Structure 1
């Protein structure tokens, strides 16, 4: 609950990372948290808000990195609890049986996932060297992000729809400065600007870059399993991600520094061709009972196609704290961005670390006062 003695914290960014971080801080107690962002989950889809375009499923990208694995496992545990029957956010998740194939023979070190089993060579698809099966969750991204925002507001959080040009604007005037209200003292800022970290004044991280991903949404409620085939080094991998709603997200692409803001028709057709080869079950049971399905059968059930810019960063996720000038001296600036294509998978884990960094920095402020 918010009190007069609570610390005022501003979170910049309302993507899945910003929303999760704001929830984590607000629910800790002792904080009045405000999210400042241009775009929120209930807004129409836009290229400027990547989180709504994500697949998304919890398949860890850690691949043996123990720090990243701990972050991803923390996130999975939270999502597994939220997704349980009767859980707080069950409507945003679908628990599924997932099959992953790897053309490069990698070991993804996902033995910690429920029901994990390596695939025998006889069960691999053509050209795959290794594979595995496990149980995971898929995330209906518009539903889930709206859930996070509602949860944040219900716990006493506030929002401000504003475009931050420089971090100093918040540091000096607080979240209300954009509405021309009297400045409010800010005790700390948490920067979760995603791709905006490239251009946000006071951050301007040149290591941040877009990784464009294109997806197609099909209406195929008969598909209730996930399937992925990938190679670590090329720009293509194929995935089938069903949602509780009956929509299925198929993809995809990974192209660094490609800024084209809408779906390319030729890429959509190519994605559907790959997806159909990997998962013929995408076509309706009626079609498959009569003949071999074609891409045209998938086009007939296409809801939309689109793309998003994953906020990638050389060196990976930035999680640290520095001091910047505030209205009454220096204040902590916690950074939590650069998640690339792993924002959902690592959201709760990095939010936990961001909160720890924030609390440690504020304790130091008190001890030095």
Structure 2
């Protein structure tokens, strides 16, 4: 093993699913001492600033004909499939389910690589759908999976610091101890990995105005009898209805897709609309005892709600940003590589491991270039 003095010191900004996964990937590679700096970590009270906890979340790629994005999503699925295997290291974070997707716009989702994939015959489609498919996927229990990632990172020797970074230069000059102790650490940072989600809009040294929020509202109901997922989508028009069960017995009902909508709380009328759409798509969300006697109603589902909320998906015009910039180091230090990994929109979980692999590759190439110069 390399001595601690030989380890490259890397700071990751952001502790959402993308920041955590990227930090794990780099730390486990070996040769790095990784510190995550973030305002919010898994286990903290839910906040609108921490979108990852509000995600559905299931692995259903929307990459379609985007070959690069599809490769990222497929790598992520392979990792999650292995993690979710019976007896696997993170089985408790996932639920393998039969998923049914109905499409209102006739596009090809390009998901024929998913386990048990089948195209649905026309006579089995719901009203208005032009196409559909079924396959097996993994649903992620976000309040369980995010602490798993954090614990995995810490167990491999990673460290965390709670702090609010206003400008990248603060990290480069002051190191992580600036946020830990309020003073600069004389030991320089070798690289910075930028995974701030929506914070990329305002983070000094980045300030990417192509990043914008896509508001997603959900209702979480207690319905442990639901063990399959269903989605009805017309993404071109922003219509998106989904029922996503979790291993815990909670079921996520959604959703909405509202660009540049900054309202930070659940709207009651939107919750009602979500329930109506989900009930029409998946009547089985009503308790079996009620359905045995009569048709379920919106109020029957509303009675199951344990939580309502919303999150701001960190969308970016042009898709995920995965590249490198060189920025001035502290006094007496050469330039430092800044690796970007943000702009995942609603696909943070689906693309987390694949984009982390690219970020690691960019980091290693940049550091190799620096050592040669």
**TM beyond 0.5:** yes
Q: How many residues align?
A: 368
* Secondary structure, counterpart of 2:292 in structure 1: helix
* Secondary structure, counterpart of 1:63 in structure 2: coil
| Structure 1 position 235, deviation (Å) | 2.3
**Take 1:16 and 1:290, find their aligned partners in 2: how far apart are those partners?**
43
**Take 1:22 and 1:181, find their aligned partners in 2: how far apart are those partners?**
24
Corresponding residue number in structure 2 for 1:5:
6
Corresponding residue number in structure 1 for 2:365:
360
**Take 1:59 and 1:235, find their aligned partners in 2: how far apart are those partners?**
16
TM-score using structure 1 length: 0.99
- After superposing on structure 2, the runs of 4+ consecutive aligned residues of structure 1 that deviate more than 4 Å are none
- 5+ residue gaps, structure 1, are none
* Secondary structure, counterpart of 2:46 in structure 1: coil
Corresponding residue number in structure 2 for 1:246:
249
**Take 1:89 and 1:331, find their aligned partners in 2: how far apart are those partners?**
35
CA contact (8 A) 2:174 2:183 kept: no
Aligned counterparts, 1:104-115, within 5 A: 104-115=105-116
Deviation digits for residues 304-350 of structure 1, max 9, x if unmatched? 11000000000000000010011112000000000000000000000
- Work out whether 1:337 is the aligned partner of 2:337: no
| Structure 1 position 182, deviation (Å) | 4.1
Corresponding residue number in structure 2 for 1:310:
313
CA contact (8 A) 2:98 2:135 kept: yes
* Secondary structure, counterpart of 2:235 in structure 1: coil
**Take 1:176 and 1:229, find their aligned partners in 2: how far apart are those partners?**
48
Corresponding residue number in structure 2 for 1:211:
214
**Take 1:187 and 1:160, find their aligned partners in 2: how far apart are those partners?**
17
Corresponding residue number in structure 1 for 2:182:
180
**Take 1:182 and 1:196, find their aligned partners in 2: how far apart are those partners?**
23
* Secondary structure, counterpart of 2:218 in structure 1: strand
**Take 1:50 and 1:38, find their aligned partners in 2: how far apart are those partners?**
13
Corresponding residue number in structure 2 for 1:99:
100
**Take 1:176 and 1:345, find their aligned partners in 2: how far apart are those partners?**
33
| Structure 1 position 232, deviation (Å) | 2.0
Deviation digits for residues 106-125 of structure 1, max 9, x if unmatched? 10100110010111101100
**Take 1:85 and 1:294, find their aligned partners in 2: how far apart are those partners?**
36
- Work out whether 1:30 is the aligned partner of 2:31: yes
* Secondary structure, counterpart of 1:227 in structure 2: strand
| Alignment root-mean-square deviation, CA | 0.8
| Structure 1 position 64, deviation (Å) | 1.3
Corresponding residue number in structure 2 for 1:190:
193
Aligned counterparts, 1:74-93, within 5 A: 74-93=75-94
Corresponding residue number in structure 1 for 2:283:
280
CA contact (8 A) 2:167 2:203 kept: yes
TM-score using structure 2 length: 0.98
Corresponding residue number in structure 1 for 2:56:
55
* Secondary structure, counterpart of 1:9 in structure 2: strand
- 5+ residue gaps, structure 2, are none
